[in-house]
Amino acid sequence: MRRAAVLLAMLWPGLALAAEGREVFEARCAGCHAAAPGAPPGPGPNLAGVVGRRVAGDAAFDYSPALLAAREAGVAWDGALLQRFLADPEDMFPGLWMGANGLRDAADRAAVAAFLAGNGAGAGRND
């Protein structure tokens, strides 16, 4: 089985990175955020399809004024913006209601962004 995983990582490195991101997401983010298309939000919004949609784009969630202002400004999530946010959410959006400190490790941020980019892409878009 290990050989299959190594071969898969060699052929599709993005898939391996997304798998790592799922692990980090489940350990650090899933307590507040769902990532399955159609799942209800928890303490945080559902992040399925977040890459490509506007900030504060889950219609079923009550966002902080800081995120609503970003939405009104037309800011949309892409991989780079998501990684910047994951580094220090409060620095990026002062007044954010999210209580997490972010992910210190750049590799973890890249992996979570890869997982979210491939997880329910296009679900719940609101542009």
How far apart (Å, rounded) are the C-alpha atoms in residues 84 and 41?
22
Report yes or no on 102 lying in a domain.
yes
Q: Which residues contact 55 (CB under 8 A, 6 or more apart)?
A: 67, 70, 71, 75, 76, 77
> Is the pLDDT confidence value at 84 over 70?
yes
Mean pLDDT of 75-99: 93
For the entire predicted model, the pTM comes to 0.80
How far apart (Å, rounded) are the C-alpha atoms in residues 100 and 102?
6
> Is the pLDDT confidence value at 12 over 60?
no
Count of domains observed in the chain: 1
The answer to whether 61 touches 46, Cβ cutoff 8 Å, is yes
Look up residue 41 and give its two tokens. Answer: 């939000």
Report yes or no on 40 lying in a domain.
yes
Query: What residues make up the domain containing 90?
Result: 2-117
DSSP H/E element including 23: helix 13-28
